[in-house]
Amino acid sequence: MTVARAYLRELSEHGFHEADTARFTAAWEQLEAAYFQRIAEVTAPFAEWRDRFRAAATETARLVEAHRAEARFLAVDALAAGELGRKHQRALASRIAALLDGARAELDDPGAVPETTSSWIVAMFFDRVYRRCTVPGAPDLPSQLPELMFLAISAYFGTATGLEELIPPP
């Protein structure tokens, strides 16, 4: 993570330059690998999609709050790198969406929900991360989790199931 952190510090001070392409890519790949490794760890104990998703979403929210510079790089500063940043963001979003779409396997009719459902969920989460990083006073990610979980689970399993996510744990 040292390479990524050093580059992020430099990027925040001086902005992106074309000559930084290799360092940008190295930093991105390091962060992305670390993120997916962490997600694999926190979801491993669970068998059902809903529990795995909740664990992944909770850990993602925690990481965004605990590692603000890294979250900002992935969600916001990458956009200033033009096509390079967009390419990486697109690939990351597609990878997460493919994992999320595992929910279909637990549906009676896997074709019953739109094909872009997982992309929709990724888009809503990304929007919350983006705004957390750009809007002063935006709500922290953990406080948004029940709403995001409600919207995500409703999209696959219906609103009645999704509403269970809004009930505070005892």
Residues near other proteins (CB under 8 A): 76, 79-80, 82, 86, 90, 93, 112-117, 119-124, 126-128, 130-131, 134-135, 139, 144, 146-148, 150-151, 154-155, 158-160, 162-163, 166
CB of 159 to other proteins, least distance (A): 4
Nearer to other proteins, 36 or 120 (CB): 120
CB of 158 to other proteins, least distance (A): 5
CB of 41 to other proteins, least distance (A): 27
Q: Are 8 and 70 in contact (CB under 8 A)?
A: yes
Q: Identity (one letter) of the amino acid at 46?
A: F
Q: Are 61 and 142 in contact (CB under 8 A)?
A: yes
Nearer to other proteins, 33 or 123 (CB): 123
Nearer to other proteins, 34 or 151 (CB): 151
Nearer to other proteins, 40 or 123 (CB): 123
Nearer to other proteins, 37 or 143 (CB): 143
Helices 141-157 and 117-134: crossing angle in degrees, nearest 10, is 170
**Phi, psi values for residue 76, rounded to 5°:** -115, -60
CB of 160 to other proteins, least distance (A): 8
**Phi, psi values for residue 45, rounded to 5°:** -70, -10
Contacts of 50 (CB under 8 A, 6+ apart): 103, 106, 153, 157
CB of 135 to other proteins, least distance (A): 5
Contacts of 54 (CB under 8 A, 6+ apart): 149
* Gap between the Cα atoms of 163 and 140, Å rounded: 21
